[in-house]
Amino acid sequence: MYISVKFKFLIALLVSLSWMGLSIWLSMPWYADLASQIGGVPSYFLITMIAIVPGFMNAFVFTALLMDKRPSVIADQKYPPVTILIAAYNEVGSIEETLTSLVKQDYPNHIQVVVISDGSTDGTVDKVRGIADSNPNIEFIYLHHNGGKSAALNRGLQHVTTDIVISIDADGYVFKDGVRNLVGRYLSDPPNTKAVAGEILIRNSRENWITKAQEWDYFLGIASIKRIQSLFQGTLVAQGAFSLYERKILSELGGWPEMVGEDIVLTWKILDRGYRVGHAEDALVFTDCPNTLHKFIRQRQRWSRGLIEAFKENPLILIRPRLTTLYVWWNTMFPLMDIAYTFGFIPGLILACFGMYWIVGPMTLFLLPMAALLNWLMYVRGRKMFEKEHLHVRTNIFGFIFYVFAYGLVLQPACVYGYLSELLNFRKSWGTK
């Protein structure tokens, strides 16, 4: 039975609102108990942002995933030539493997690769030049000074003649049909689609506890959010690590903005113009995630800072009459939820260890059933996609346990630091992720 996108949205919204209403009713004793300890306003803020709003979001995502059945890619369509841009800064250890994955692509038309070395000092220049000399489909641009990722990509954009542009991180290994699936989704999506985000997965997940947890973050959380955002006509981040753009829209918008979150700001500019951004769940790229706590915190700080940049650059996107505007409003809640988690939930865990269940206690257990159902459904969807690509989900029990029960202890404080960095105008620096 066919269900329109708008009706799916309405069903998901009604289910999530019903769940939120039930949660508020069940939480009334919790509100009263906590208010007696810390006051009414702080208690309402903490409980709402720790339990009520996340519960609403989880219920919405769960319901939307149940109804998500996107149209198949149109068979026997004509695939156009594409240009791939890679901004590289000191990537001598990974750039060769990235280029090899592109040379081996199962794509029925020409792929031109443009590598821009953004002031690299570690041998990246010699490595890429050696590869480019023997492959006419690889073009190399050498920039003497490090100007940042946006500047490098915009320099490469000047050399593009194809209608489609794809950006890839210099340490990303694109699966054999990744480019075909990314372009195929673009060609099969509605005609107002101007960009398509690929699927980012982790290949160094066996290194340590932080990479093990990030594997599940990408496979479950990030992938599912992009999937339902695409369902409702607007993926909010066409990430620079692997995404497709129309060259015309890039030219209209002046290319990638000179910002920490250049990809999210660019995506919101596209959405603000009334266009659609899609998601190709089977266009896979495997990348190395941060393998130290310091690198992970810096990455999430940049992402959170990029979110604030996106709001500052596109304030009117909050009032655009479209389904995906709900997700934009969700993003206004993230800083508040992260603050509540960092300064409320984490101290509440410590208090609970001493028998004081003011914030973390029996009521928080009501969050577990929905979280368990949601993670199960996200896993089923991800595994189905893997099976289609003849891949299998590797066993990673420790990473999953840490992701479910302790990941937020690191993630949320890092995000709060990122928000404050942008609001207080701290010095910005470009990272490859």
Model confidence over 382-425: pLDDT tens digits? 999 999 998 998 889 999 999 988 899 999 999 999 999 888 87
* pLDDT computed for residue 227 by the predictor: 87
* Residue 132 placed within a domain: yes
Per-residue pLDDT reduced to its tens digit, 348-362: 888 888 888 878 877
**Which candidate, 422, 416, 415, 421, places its Cα nearest to that of 312?**
422
Mean pLDDT score of the chain, rounded to an integer? 90
Same structural domain, 151 and 272: yes
Split at pLDDT 50, 70, 90, the class of 147 is confident
* pLDDT computed for residue 245 by the predictor: 97
First to last CA, the chain: 41
Same structural domain, 127 and 259: yes
Question: What string of DSSP letters covers 160-209?
Answer: --SSEEEEE-TTEEE-TTHHHHHHHHHHHS-TTEEEEEEEEEES-TTSSH
**Which candidate, 238, 228, 206, 203, places its Cα nearest to that of 218?**
203
* pLDDT computed for residue 321 by the predictor: 85
* Residue 428 placed within a domain: no
* pLDDT computed for residue 88 by the predictor: 92
Token pair in block for residue 387: 């099976």
Residues 6+ apart with CB under 8 A from 71: 188
**Which candidate, 201, 204, 217, 396, places its Cα nearest to that of 281?**
201
Same structural domain, 274 and 381: no
* Residue 433 placed within a domain: no
Same structural domain, 122 and 269: yes
Compute the average pLDDT of residues 297-317: 92
Per-residue pLDDT reduced to its tens digit, 250-268: 999 999 999 989 999 999 9
Distance CA 128, CA 91 (A): 10
Distance CA 34, CA 206 (A): 42
**Which candidate, 230, 310, 235, places its Cα nearest to that of 269?**
310
Distance CA 94, CA 141 (A): 18
HEC sequence for 284-344 = EEEECCCCCHHHHHHHHHHHHHHHHHHHHHCHHHHHCCCCCHHHHHHHHHHHHHHHHHHHH
Same structural domain, 300 and 377: no
Distance CA 422, CA 153 (A): 23
**Which candidate, 378, 331, 222, places its Cα nearest to that of 287?**
222
Output DSSP code: residue 80.
P
- Whether pLDDT at 431 is above 70: no
**In the chain, how many domains are there?**
2
- Whether pLDDT at 370 is above 80: no
Question: Coil, strand or helix: which one is 17?
Answer: helix
Amino acid identity, residue 367? L
Distance CA 263, CA 240 (A): 6
Distance CA 81, CA 160 (A): 11
Same structural domain, 332 and 253: no
* Residue 247 placed within a domain: yes
User: Between vectors from CA 326 to CA 309 and to CA 5, what angle results, nearest 5°?
Assistant: 130
* pLDDT computed for residue 352 by the predictor: 85
Distance of CA 246 to the CA centre of its chain: 20
Compute the average pLDDT of residues 295-313: 92
* Residue 170 placed within a domain: yes
* Residue 418 placed within a domain: yes
Final residue belonging to a domain, choices 281, 314, 347: 314
Final residue belonging to a domain, choices 314, 343, 375: 314
Same structural domain, 160 and 282: yes
Amino acid identity, residue 22? L
Question: Coil, strand or helix: which one is 267?
Answer: helix
Distance CA 400, CA 218 (A): 12
Distance CA 222, CA 294 (A): 21
Split at pLDDT 50, 70, 90, the class of 234 is confident
Q: What is the CATH number of the domain that holds 156?
A: 3.90.550.10
Same structural domain, 175 and 233: yes
Question: Coil, strand or helix: which one is 87?
Answer: strand
Q: How many CB atoms lie within 10 A of CB 204?
A: 17
Domain that holds residue 375: 5-70+322-423
Amino acid identity, residue 243? S
Per-residue pLDDT reduced to its tens digit, 93-140: 899 999 999 999 999 999 999 999 988 888 889 999 999 988 999 999
Same structural domain, 348 and 273: no
Q: Tell me phi and psi for residue 115, to 5 degrees.
A: -105, 125
* Residue 429 placed within a domain: no
Same structural domain, 47 and 153: no
Compute the average pLDDT of residues 147-157: 93
Distance of CA 10 to the CA centre of its chain: 24
Match 């496979």 to its residue by tokens: 219
Same structural domain, 114 and 231: yes
Q: How many CB atoms lie within 10 A of CB 320?
A: 15
Q: How many CB atoms lie within 10 A of CB 264?
A: 27
* pLDDT computed for residue 363 by the predictor: 66
Compute the average pLDDT of residues 10-21: 95
Final residue belonging to a domain, choices 273, 293, 314: 314
Same structural domain, 241 and 299: yes
* Residue 166 placed within a domain: yes
